[in-house]
Amino acid sequence: MENQQSKQSATEAAGYVAGLGIEMSRTAMRGKHMSAAIIVLAGAILLLGGSFIRHSDTQLFVQAAGCAVLAIGLYGWFVSVADK
């Protein structure tokens, strides 16, 4: 019997990425200070890491994703500070 592994389609991969993004934003918006700070740190790392990529389209994508993650984390952090 062969082990048949199915390849993941682009739609499935996009669904997983969207689900991860939604869950991360929900955690940041209702979460605690520390989880929001970790998300902000991840966004800053993406921004910094994108500057070392030579391919301009990939660099733009990584830095845009970093900005989005950073914005979600900062919003969640400000909301969690205001709740306390």
Task: Give the pLDDT confidence of 5-49 residue by residue, as tens digits.
Answer: 666 676 776 777 777 777 766 665 665 777 778 888 888 888 888
Q: How confident is the model at residue 81 (pLDDT cuts 50, 70, 90)?
A: confident
For the entire predicted model, the pTM comes to: 0.61
Res 33: pLDDT = 75
Res 43: pLDDT = 87
For residue 53, report the phi and psi dihedrals to the nearest 5 degrees. -85, 135
57 pLDDT above the threshold of 80: yes
Burial environment of residue 28 by CB neighbours within 10 A (0 to 12, 13 to 18, 19 or more): buried
Task: Give the pLDDT confidence of 39-48 residue by residue, as tens digits.
Answer: 888 888 888 8
Helix residue ranges per DSSP H, 1-84:
10-30, 33-50, 56-83
